Structure 1
Amino acid sequence: MTTPSTTPGPDEPAPLRPGRKLGPIADNVGSAHRYWLDPTRARYLATGRTLSDLSFRVHLAKSKLSELLRGVGHYPRWEVIHSLAGELGIPGWPLYRLWRQAALDAGKTSDWVDRSSSNAVITDPPGPPLAHGALRAIVIDDYRRYAGAFLPDDARDAAVEDTFAILWLSFDDALASPDTRRYAWEILRATVKARADHRDHRPLLAKAAFETVALHRQTTLEGEMAQLAESLELFAAISRLPDAQLDVIVLRRLCGFSAAKVSDLLGIPLAAVRSDERHAIRFLEDTIELPDTGGTTP
């Protein structure tokens, strides 16, 4: 992601703006809307430009621009977002994907989306930064395995594609973070959790119950029903784990990845993976009797 010349360096504070400070994002803004709104606001705040300046350039009243950047009022048309992205140096392709999905989630029809974007052609190159593309090629299948434990196939694929779109929009921040892999994984986790079914504010793993090795080993209806009940109990317990332990257990016990692969995928030390797995298993053993799911590699 190319940083515009008006963006301060990493150790340089953004210039002070005259006028009223931009308010926070409204509480009722949904997760899909935030996927593109958060990086757009971050880019605006980093440039040091004023709402008055941008208002003149994107042909939108300052009050309306402030509402747009806070997620207040009507969902914005792509023509406006496209113009704003051009002024702030935000790549159009990932922004459009996230804007479109949020529009549909907000109840807008496909016809409205098409009309809203008919006069705003994306002209920037469709390819992401090389490092982004390299990371995607390495981890995309593993990301799909993880997301598939929580989501049906269509939602799984959409969550993974949204993850890479969000990562593209914030790739400068990813590169500046202590570990790009960890930065990307946290986006994936948040995106998957936002789409998953929940109970008591925790993501459910019900889909994985139908795909365990133990379940497929059963040859009778009674055996299948008994194993399904055990699996559902297990996955309900797993869903109560802290995020780090949940990730490790899903990757180790449901996806079958080695501890070393999990370490590399999450961008955390191997010792942290083993510690999280030990604590998670101890909790699960205290909660239920763990079934045999076929084992994992070391």
Structure 2
Amino acid sequence: MPEQPDGDPPHRRGRPPEPICESAGLAHRTWLEPVRSRLVASGLTLDELVSRSGYSKARLSELLRGKGYYPGWGITYSVVRALEIPIGPVLRLWKAAAVEADKDTTWIKNRIRDVRTEEVAEQPIAHAGLTQAMWGPYTAYAQVFLQSEARARQAVTETFDILWLTWDQATASPDTPRHAWQLLRSTVLSRTPKRPGGYPDLRAAAFCTTAQAETADLVERLARIDIHARFFDAIARLPADQMDVTVLRYLCGIAPDAMPGIVGLSPAITHTLDHHARGALHELFPDIDTQE
């Protein structure tokens, strides 16, 4: 094999795997896409992955395409370990996708129990710090859209797991907090019911406002719910960044000086977004106090 000028052998890149099958579910893709990206970046050929994992080329090809039955943890772990990918986040994403694929708890536990799993990478300190700092506001934001606290926690956990698996990309981006926020938003909105126009459906949040909860008269409460449902529908129609700062400040109760660090934008830009959003909403609903 000819050598490069620096004396190192040329880096032989493997052929990218064929596209993921359309039948692969959303949760399945969350761990499969980073695995495929790592394989391409590693330069390993499928034959080399066969040698490292101990599984046949046909089985590995099916796994990498998300084809056929949902893969067991054994073959998934063998590929993840061969590519030196962090085990913990992949295992959590694999379990979530198994539930999506209608695998019951017994099947999931048995597949995991059959494998002696060992972690191959430590969580980056910066990733751990970001997780600790942003867990609260991320979860509050997610719950506005998903309503259920359990669903919100699942979306945030998935966000940080994907972020860990793609940490090199996150730290190579111009602004890591901004990269993380956009990933959180994408994860949450992918699970949020949509209105006919394609924007998120926030109307259910109208049942959770302080003002209507404290109203004893049923007729007045229903009227308030109707108004707030239309108000929250208007919030969902705002441009993405304006919607984000509005949800964080007025529906999650986040302090204005904390928002720039959460959404990954400068204080000046965040203030401008808040100003324009409040102006647009006030024109439509002059009698609604955004602090409700």
Distance 1:113 1:227 in 2: 45
> What does 1:78-117 align with in structure 2 at a 5 Å threshold?
78-117=73-112
Q: Does 1:182 align with 2:178?
A: yes
Q: Does 1:231 align with 2:228?
A: yes
Structure 1 SS opposite 2:163: helix
Q: Does 1:34 align with 2:53?
A: no
Distance 1:289 1:106 in 2: 47
Q: Deviations over 1:27-83 (max 9, x none)?
A: 343221121111111111110101111022223232332232222222111100101
2:250 to 250, 253, 259: 253
Structure 2 SS opposite 1:256: coil
Distance 2:17 2:275 in 1: 45
Give the deviation of 1:21 after TM superposition: 3.8
Structure 1 SS opposite 2:190: helix
- Which stretches in structure 2 are left out of the alignment for 5+ residues? 1-9
> Equivalent residue for 2:46?
51
Give the deviation of 1:119 after TM superposition: 1.9
Give the deviation of 1:16 after TM superposition: 4.5
- The answer as to whether partners of 1:181 and 1:267 remain within 8 angstroms in 2 is yes
Distance 1:260 1:109 in 2: 45
The one-letter amino acid of 1:104's match is V
Q: 1:17 to 1:171 in 2, by over 3 A?
A: closer
- The answer as to whether partners of 1:248 and 1:276 remain within 8 angstroms in 2 is yes
Q: Does 1:221 align with 2:240?
A: no
Structure 1 SS opposite 2:189: helix
2:267 to 266, 270, 293: 270
TM-score under structure 1 length normalisation = 0.86
> Equivalent residue for 1:9?
none
Query: After the TM superposition, which of the residue ranges 107-116 and 35-44 deviates more from structure 2?
Result: 107-116
- The answer as to whether partners of 1:213 and 1:293 remain within 8 angstroms in 2 is no
Q: Does 1:119 align with 2:114?
A: yes
Q: 1:26 to 1:254 in 2, by over 3 A?
A: same
Give the deviation of 1:104 after TM superposition: 0.6
> Equivalent residue for 1:7?
none
Distance 1:164 1:207 in 2: 26
What is the number of equivalent residue pairs in this alignment? 281
The percentage of counterpart residues that share the same residue type is: 38
Distance 1:25 1:108 in 2: 20
Q: 1:23 to 1:126 in 2, by over 3 A?
A: closer
Distance 1:127 1:62 in 2: 30
TM-score under structure 2 length normalisation = 0.88
1:135 to 114, 130, 141: 130
- The answer as to whether partners of 1:212 and 1:293 remain within 8 angstroms in 2 is no
Q: 1:125 to 1:57 in 2, by over 3 A?
A: closer
Distance 2:23 2:275 in 1: 38
- Which stretches in structure 1 are left out of the alignment for 5+ residues? 1-13
Structure 2 SS opposite 1:22: coil
The one-letter amino acid of 2:243's match is L
